[in-house]
Amino acid sequence: EAGVAQSPRYKIIEKRQSVAFWCNPISGHATLYWYQQILGQGPKLLIQFQNNGVVDDSQLPKDRFSAERLKGVDSTLKIQPAKLEDSAVYLCASGPGTGYEQYFGPGTRLTVT
Amino acid sequence: SQQGEEDPQALSIQEGENATMNCSYKTSINNLQWYRQNSGRGLVHLILIRSNEREKHSGRLRVTLDTSKKSSSLLITASRAADTASYFCATDPPKSWSGGGADGLTFGKGTHLIIQP
- How far is C-alpha B101 from the chain's CA centre? 23
Residue that wins the pLDDT comparison between A97 and A60? A60
A9 touches chain B (CB under 8 A): no
pLDDT of B6? 85
Mean pLDDT (10-residue bins), chain B, 117 residues: 76 97 92 90 92 96 97 97 96 66 88 95
- A36/B contact by beta carbon, under 8 A: no
- Across A29-55, average pLDDT: 94
- The beta-carbon neighbor of A104 closest among B42, B95, B101 is B42
pLDDT for the residue A97 = 82
| Cβ–Cβ < 8 Å for A31, A49 | yes
Q: Does pLDDT of A100 surpass 80?
A: yes
DSSP annotation of B83 reads G
**Residue (of A45, A46, A6) closest to A22 by Cα position:** A6
- Residue-wise over A45-57: b if at least 16 C-beta within 10 A, else e? bbbbbbeeeebbb
- pLDDT at residue A27 is higher than 60: yes
